[in-house]
Structure 1
């Protein structure tokens, strides 16, 4: 059984957690902090960071010294150029090391009739395209850290919801709005969320193939993997249901049921922290998908590697196409080619 106490000592290590100020991101930050890691919460809101800092400071096993190792880094995943510049600024201002990146932030159930500033569907824009732009700008520092300190890891939060993308990723649809309301609009929102989670999975796979695997052959221990946090109903990622003309009380009831079914936020953070820190994966292949293991009561016990629940999750051709699409989108948005 894996618990927060099983996280190894992370003294001197530096981690970035996107969306590390709430839900499983906050618990991820908590587990890293209590094991002496220097943690940067990357998010849009300074006020959200301050709230997270206050929340953590009230926990009995978080002391003042740990809180002093908690930092804020401004990151807007909604625009690719801004996300890339955010990563470049981090490298410029923190040139010594970066050991762990956990791409945890995300949105779900966004209105299908709205597009982001770069002209892409909001869920894919935030969950994948923004992270693609941010993480690829951090690769030089991650490689430097691995060469000088032994290892660096990238962990991308995906989901079993990738199976909602039954036809893979329709790239043409990412630039088209769909003004549907009601059940049809909600169904489309689920499909788009699934496509973004599939993109997270394929990005980790292709990132490890293009960047990490060649370096590992040189003895530079870098890796990229993705995880399913488990079923968590109180993440706050979605709306109330009113966005599609559905009574908001349905969403309220769904979230209230989280205390009876699904994981807690702490349980949901376990797998990504395990993949980011465990020595058990030091000599393994990567680009993999990891999921939680539960006991008979449905509670978290451990984490393991698992094949994707969809054929698209291991489609190398689709992964390569996604990479090229993402890089072209970044350039069109005014960013620099990888």
Structure 2
């Protein structure tokens, strides 16, 4: 099979298309013929060697084949798998199975996959497991957004932000989106009531308070965010720099003693949440905006497009 291999940290030109052996599923895994895989910021962070990644791979990427958010058809099942059969259309996440989605075939734990509803395209389904769960769980599980809440989403024009904006609006919130100037119309299409260009406006200096802040690119110390949180507000870190992650972790340890709460969002592949979000898409209550679809051979270009922060919504690679 063909796969894009990454053995050294760097830009997307480090990825090389190689012919390698097709993997075989472990007893608890399924082998998937990949139809579509979406690109996430984690793929870029692993390839570039972000500080948090170098903690587990100090000299080279810990995963040689990137890509985790995918859909496809079951090619083979492990001996312990009872809920899938060869030919089933599935979608899920292989980040807990060693990654490997930028390939024609990949093995993943059966427990991390659901059967794809027939109403969803493979491209739509590939957008849901990571980015969708980050946005969905960021709003509902971690942010606990309520009708009337004022919610700010930093990075609202990207993949996870797309879901977070729409779920927050669906749950009755007033949504403020922050991203680049080029994504202002995109944020509005996701339902944002107010939009800001992060280069022109530092949202931590706005003269208003937010009940929930969901930040995909946090880089400041918690005290900076506290000034724009309501007295009982919640800050949800969806992604960010190491300094901000450390600060949010330290602040979260004091949640029991503080009225304002800090949460670090670690999404989980939850079957109920996956299927609930998929149903919202089917019911046209949530729209998946695929900004660009790349053919498999242009996987490096797709990854660079996301790394350059040019993605509006999701970027998808059509594998087969």
Give the TM bin, normalised by the shorter chain.
Answer: 0.3 to 0.5
More helix by share: 1
Structure 2-normalised TM-score? 0.37
Q: Which TM-score applies when normalising by structure 1?
A: 0.36
More strand per residue: 1 or 2? 2
